[in-house]
A and B are shown apart, each in its own frame.
Chain A
């Protein structure tokens, strides 16, 4: 764990740059992290981020399927908003833990 200053605020992050305390998160922080990830945030992005933060604070898991069923975006739009590795990117930007896959 280390401390990183993002958008002028000191926050706790892990080795991969994921925030460790979701309550430290702000929209400004999200925009900063998004820039590092090569994403420019729009209102649509924030709708998805709201959904993601809601899911995590309710203690629920996050899947691409779940986001695709959310009514906010479908899976294809989700990939277009957060290209490459959408789940990894959206969680990092939303200040929540990186999802783990277990099989």
Chain B
């Protein structure tokens, strides 16, 4: 029996286990997937928890519900990849051999990377919402918060779901307005980017939304440390920003074992060919999802579009053919803007987010770079699609390659 080993059973790993079990012959191929945790988190749902829209139970399910029959599942920490010997070492020392390896270990938040972030105010006046614990703690805090300076700070690039911090401030604006205390809450968005987003048109559109909603933005801020005693964040240039409540998007790093296995970049993301999605140094290793260092968003939608590419190229490699599929970096992100409305961006490596309609040119039903009610329903619908279609590796009626039809230049 030949062996396909999948590391990580999050969004991307689970999806690939389902796809590959259908594609690879059961008589010839063993498929094994490894993850440290038994619970699957619907991470996009974390955004809704601080504002009481979702609770913890809305975003968790057992990982076991999503694996197909015929896949071996191992719950264990992964300690090391030894690519020269084609094997992976687990936390308890067990070695797993592979013929092909698929890395899907995502990214984790690393608050320990910033001085003072894990200080005396952590989970007292400082929270993250990229983890279930942080999101739940913040929901409790907001229930009784009397208002003051709410500062949302992005520590460092890249971080997963680059629109989530923007959605967070839009939601905060609506949340405190609805509670009749918006005049007591001063919201400031502090980012290392030169504006609200990276690409010109989306930056302009989202920047204007911030302004309309009376949310301050402080760009080009690279945080150096948190001063817990004086409740301030300080950047490398010496700029100081006071806060009463700090919501941080901590540094996002790839798994530690990526670094010790010699496969990663400065932030432990796996060095990956951005078109073939193969690891740059090893022909029998492919990478999917947030774990890859490819220059596009780290998002579930990207992993979904990449899945088809990885499947095809993995089969090419296995059958000794040239890799024929090319990934274009396609990303598609619904952005909640508060008050039951949302906007949508669709882009890839070469094309910035443009206005228009999606997925059907002229018809939509979703509006690109427009604030509409339908876009908000798109996002809510996404949770259902995630559990029932995406994780199971089923096809969706959306092309994985980005389409120019329906977009206005």
Contact = CB atoms under 8 A, between A and B. Distances in A.
A100 B6 CA distance: 32
A66 interface: yes
A30 to B, nearest CB: 22
Which 5 pairs of residues, A with B, have the shortest CB-CB distance? A103-B162, A79-B236, A66-B266, A102-B295, A65-B266
Contacts of B265: 60-61, 66
A97 B295 CA distance: 16
B209 interface: no
B297 interface: yes
A84 B237 contact: yes
A3 B237 CA distance: 33
Given A63-B266, A65-B267, A102 B296 contact: yes
Contact of B297 (A63, A83, A86, A103): A103
Interface stretch (B71-79, B153-161, B320-328): B153-161
B156 A83 contact: no
25 contacts: A60-B265, A63-B267, A64-B156, A65-B156, A65-B267, A66-B265, A66-B266, A76-B224, A76-B236, A79-B222, A79-B236, A79-B237, A83-B237, A85-B220, A86-B236, A101-B193, A101-B198, A102-B198, A102-B296, A103-B159, A103-B162, A103-B193, A103-B198, A103-B297, A103-B298
A28 B51 CA distance: 57
Contacts of A100: 295
Nearest to B299: A103
A69 interface: yes
A63 B296 CA distance: 16
A69 B265 CA distance: 12
A60 B187 CA distance: 38
Nearest to A69: B266
A84 B194 CA distance: 12
A72 interface: no
Interface string A84-103: 11100000000000001111
Contacts of A86: 236
Nearest to A78: B236
A13 interface: no
Interface residues of A, number: 18
Given A75-B224, A76-B224, 7 more contacts: A61-B266, A69-B266, A75-B236, A76-B236, A85-B220, A101-B157, A101-B193
Q: Mostly helix, strand, loop or mixed at chain A's interface?
A: loop
A75 B224 CA distance: 9
Nearest to B296: A102
Interface in A69-83: 69, 75-76, 79, 83
A32 B266 CA distance: 31
Contacts of B156: 64-65
B88 to A, nearest CB: 26
A64 B157 CA distance: 10
A93 to B, nearest CB: 18
Interface in B155-201: 156-159, 162, 193, 197-198
A65 B267 CA distance: 8
A79 B266 CA distance: 18
Contacts of A85: 220
A103 B299 CA distance: 10
Contacts of B298: 103
Nearest to B266: A66
Contacts of B193: 101, 103
A48 to B, nearest CB: 15
Interface string B86-122: 0000000000000000000000000000000000000
Interface string B295-322: 1111000000000000000000000000
B158 A103 contact: yes
Contacts of A84: 237
B280 to A, nearest CB: 10
Nearest to A60: B265
Contacts of A69: 266
A90 B193 CA distance: 17
Nearest to A77: B236
Nearest to A65: B266
Contacts of B222: 64, 79
B316 to A, nearest CB: 25
Given A63-B266, A66-B266, A103 B157 contact: yes
Contacts of A103: 157-159, 162, 193, 197-198, 297-298
